[in-house]
């Protein structure tokens, strides 16, 4: 399996170029369901140690249905096939440029959540125009065992998020263990309460958001992904969901740009325009860097062929 690894704001992306399973035809959403149902052990083995690392997201290239797109892609982490991935799309664009498949300019990429647009500014800098994002519930009260009542918004940015703003724990690297414990508990409480997305999707990402103390930076976040690992980047789909909340509250104007940082200090530049269906169209600008190119081997005699889950 031929792969190229990059990182976007510290969050790794592994693009699978060849050797992926044949997911057949149909929409990307249908093919994503086949990957989730029939190839879970394989996609997990691509990301788990010793081949991968806990924060890594996979990006499997597939033929697009929309022929105006340069490629189709299906994203996944260790525990879920994803509708969309912002940092992964930035990493994918940089990878395609590294391979000579795209040049600076605007390109379309098809994902299970819909077609997104990337603008490659230079070999490392990319702006992603995401799918339409929206807030669907405001100020939801969740009884979180061991933590009391937690209040948050439910919003969509390509994945579904429960967003707590302000965070009850300072968003600092010294609190990563405590924030991980809290956000896992929040997600369990959300699922136990029957909290769902607009079409009964699981709300499987959690964001703790606060104001950043850094001059010129608007917010700082901690984002829990479905595999119980935190996003080292500010999370592109999470930022899209947060932009939808800010727009709904009238706290950010159309076209106004802000800077969002992650818990480790990496940043995205964010803005939005109004969408055709009552939501917003987010724009996320960030940087990715190629780290390695490799052929993954799956030896039948390897006792850890399917990976190590710690």
Examine residue 110 and say whether the peptide bond preceding it is cis (omega within 30 degrees of 0): no
Q: Is 239 a catalytic residue?
A: no
Catalytic residue among 69, 225, 235, 245: 235
Catalytic residue among 85, 225, 239, 245: 85
Q: Report the relative pairing of strands 105-111 and 71-76 from DSSP bridges.
A: parallel
Q: Is the CB of residue 237 less than 8 Å from the CB of residue 207?
A: no
**Token pair recorded at residue 124:** 């490392």
CA atoms within 13 A on the CB side of 58: 32
Query: 107 exposed, middle or buried (CB, 10 Å; 0-12, 13-18, 19+)?
Result: buried
Is the Cα dihedral 54, 70, 36, 80 positive or negative? positive
Assess contact for 96 and 70: CB atoms under 8 A: yes
**Residue 113 contacts residue 131 (beta carbons within 8 Å):** yes
Q: Which contacts of 70-74 are long-range, i.e. CB under 8 A and separated by 24 or more positions?
A: 70/96, 70/101, 70/102, 70/107, 70/108, 70/109, 71/96, 71/101, 71/109, 71/110, 72/28, 72/109, 72/110, 72/111, 73/109, 73/110, 73/111, 74/23, 74/28, 74/31, 74/32, 74/35, 74/111, 74/112
β-sheet bridge partners, residue 259: 269
Phi, psi of 190 (to 5 degrees): -65, -45
- Strand 57-62 with 114-120, pairing: unpaired
Cα separation, 88 vs 223, whole angstroms: 15
**85 tagged catalytic:** yes
Residues tagged active-site: 85, 235
């Amino acid at each position: 399996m031929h792969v190229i690894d990059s990182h976007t704001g510290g969050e790794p992306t592994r693009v699978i170029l060849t050797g992926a399973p044949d997911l057949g035809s149909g929409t990307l959403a249908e093919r994503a369901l086949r990957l989730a149902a029939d190839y879970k052990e394989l996609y997990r083995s691509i990301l788990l140690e010793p081949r991968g690392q806990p924060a890594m997201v996979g990006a499997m290239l597939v033929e697009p249905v929309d022929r105006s797109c340069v490629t189709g892609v299906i994203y996944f982490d260790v525990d879920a096939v994803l509708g969309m991935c912002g940092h992964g799309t930035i990493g994918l664009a940089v990878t395609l440029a590294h391979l000579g498949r795209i040049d600076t300019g605007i390109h379309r990429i098809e994902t299970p959540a819909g077609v997104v647009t990337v603008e490659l500014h230079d070999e490392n800098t990319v702006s992603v125009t995401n799918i339409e994002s929206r807030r669907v519930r405001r100020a939801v009260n969740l009884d979180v065992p061991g933590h009391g009542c937690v209040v948050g918004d439910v919003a969509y940015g390509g994945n579904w998020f429960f967003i707590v703003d302000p965070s009850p724990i300072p968003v600092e690297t010294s609190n990563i263990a405590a924030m991980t414990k809290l956000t896992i508990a929040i997600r369990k409480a959300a699922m136990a309460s029957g909290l769902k997305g607009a079409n009964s999707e699981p709300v499987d990402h959690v964001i703790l958001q606060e104001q950043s103390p850094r001059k010129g930076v608007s917010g700082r976040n901690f984002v829990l992904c479905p595999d119980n690992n935190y996003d080292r980047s500010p999370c592109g789909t999470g930022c899209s969901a947060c932009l939808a909340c800010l727009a709904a509250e009238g706290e950010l104007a159309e076209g106004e740009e802000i800077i969002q940082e992650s818990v480790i200090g990496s940043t995205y530049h964010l803005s939005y325009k109004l969408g055709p269906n009552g939501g917003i169209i987010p724009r996320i600008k960030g940087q990715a860097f190629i780290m390695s190119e490799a052929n993954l081997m799956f030896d039948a005699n390897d006792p850890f062929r399917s990976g190590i889950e710690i």
